[in-house]
Structure 1
Amino acid sequence: MENENLLKQISFIKEIDKIKYIQRRTKLFNSDRNENDAEHSWHLAMMAIVLAEHANEPVDVLKVLKMVLIHDIVEIDAGDTFIYDTAKDHSNTDEELIAAKRIFGMLPKEQAEEFIAIWEEFEEGKTNEAKFARSMDRFEPLLQNTSNKGGTWAELNVDYQRVYDKKKVINEGSTSIWNYSENLLNECVDKGILKK
């Protein structure tokens, strides 16, 4: 049984290497190179560790780390949907649930169930951990786009209100980070990076 579990876990580890090939629309800080999902997940994990004290409620940091490290693994099958995409809704959870069951289902049963449950908890966004993890997920690209003079906002002519509406979820996980974010967005308007 132990050997069987190990073989399943190694198969899963090999499979998730594919996340490194999933390109995001957002570019790295002060760069013209697109970020991939693995880089994004790593960055969110570091942000969660560093910024945990700013969560609105106490959080289990290990659980937040699990959420941010696994939340985009489903994009191996489902692909990355750009948050400002007007043709396809960003909450494509039906496709993603199928992907979650396939990919996490490669693991031993107990681990598979845990990962699916953590992924679902992140998607629902109701627990303190999920709210904070989702805050990190929305905060990182905001920082990237502001470092790139508007980045994908400017490229795709995304206006202030659309950005604001997508980013305000940050407040659910961290009011202090949301206040910082709101100030950044207003600075972007003042600099002409975002149009109101």
Structure 2
Amino acid sequence: MGILSCTLARRKEVFSFEYDQKWLLSKQKFMIDPDLQFFPGQQFLREDKSNFGMFMDSSPDRWGTKLMIRREAIDARIGSRPVRTLQNSDFLLGVYDQHRMGALRFKLDPDGPFLDDDQNMPAPPMTALRALESASKKLEDDDNLDDPNYSKWLSMLVAPGGSLGGARPKSGVIDTDGTLWIAKFPSG
């Protein structure tokens, strides 16, 4: 389809997109974003937009963003380093590939693996719903990184729930047939 590029300019990410020539010549091509026109070369956004809408749809909303920010805080603590401020690209590419919304997949190299394809982060089975609900409640109510169970609760939810949009706690789960489902949990 094309290449999304991200550069840092004055500590702000600037995204551009360039259609693949095969996509532009394809009879099956379709408009993928209102800010992208059918012509070759890099296309940039207006300054008031942070990324193209189609890619924002593949990024987490409030719940997933919250999980990723907390994961970064724990990783920084474990690594004895300062907490990084996560950028839009971190949220876009930090979603487990199999759970990513928007029917898009990302690679750094056309022949390389998809990002993020860590096989240690698949959706849990549907039988884990109660444990996932409990973890989501604890994470929503408590941001005490010193709690010894905090990292465990976060790891239970970050991969299966990090990509899902909206503000309510949720998680992806897999049924006995291998079908991916979204489980939404009570909030507040």
Specify the structure having the higher radius of gyration (Cα). 2
TM-score of the pair, normalised by structure 1: 0.28
Structure with bigger RCO (C-alpha 8 Å, 6+ apart)? 1
Pick the structure with more strand per residue: 2
Q: Which has the higher helix share?
A: 1
